[in-house]
Structure 1
């Protein structure tokens, strides 16, 4: 038996800012709860390739480097996607890159690190 990733949960301080960023970044639909949280749904039915995102209101700011993070893949030009994400509110961050990586490290508006891969992972 094995498990698959179904959902990625992010603790957020400002739910509205993070809903706006992540729904625009991923093209996901928003289902906002009345409990200070929101679920972001892929445009199609969830599958192993498209987990849901749960934005969980925490009321506190992020502290330290993420122990887990998202790796995103662009449909077309990865650097164009990086520019689009920066335009949405992401920023470049240095987590010790050497400059030879095949990905770009960004942080969302609350500082949660994520990567845009130059190409999809392969075996």
Structure 2
């Protein structure tokens, strides 16, 4: 009997204020709520339109964030945009630049309003696919 692989249901993110953080990330990613959250909800879930990625679930926790994330999101500018445009948009929404010792790299390390780090990559999905195809053709 073949064993079926596990299915990732959602990525869970601890949060002091899950309502505010879910709303921020929904705006950043242009995702929607899975259900309309009630004011007393301690869990808020967002998902991409069309289900193209794993949902994110924000859960209320009382303990503060400590140290650098062990897991983080890498975001690409959408086709038709670029890193500089998206960086300006993210900073305008309240992201902050952070230095986690990354040095001189082509991506930008940012933090959300609760201090969770994420990276804004340089290339768009089409640029990344073209680079991968060129690399594969060369091998």
Q: TM-score, normalised by structure 2?
A: 0.76
Normalized per residue, the structure richer in helix is 2
How many angstroms does 1:60 deviate by? 2.6
Match of 1:106 in 2: 110
Q: How does 1:76-115 map to 2 (within 5 A)?
A: 76-99=81-104, 101-115=105-119
Specify the alignment match of 1:61 in structure 2: 64
- Residue 6 of structure 1 and its aligned partner are, at CA, apart by 5.0
- Equivalent pair of 2:19/2:44 in contact (CA under 8 Å): no
1:9 equivalent to 2:12? Answer: yes
The structure with more strand, counted as a fraction of residues: 1
CA RMSD of aligned residues (A): 1.9
For residue 86 of structure 1, give the secondary structure of its aligned residue in structure 2.
Answer: helix
- Any gaps of 5 or more consecutive residues in structure 1? none
Bigger RCO (CA 8 Å, 6+ sep)? 1
Q: Does the aligned pair in 2 maintain the 1:106–1:113 contact within 8 Å?
A: yes
Contact 1:91 1:108 in 2 (8 A): yes
Aligned length: 119
Partner residue, 1:38:
44
Output the TM-score relative to the length of structure 1.
0.85
Where structure 2 has 5 or more consecutive residues not aligned to the other structure, the ranges are 133-139
Runs of 4+ in 1 over 2 A off after TM superposition: 1-7, 31-35, 120-123
Counterpart residue number, 1:72: 75
Structure ID, larger Rg: 2
The Cα of 1:4 is off from its aligned counterpart by 6.3
Q: What is the Cα deviation at residue 67 of structure 1?
A: 0.4
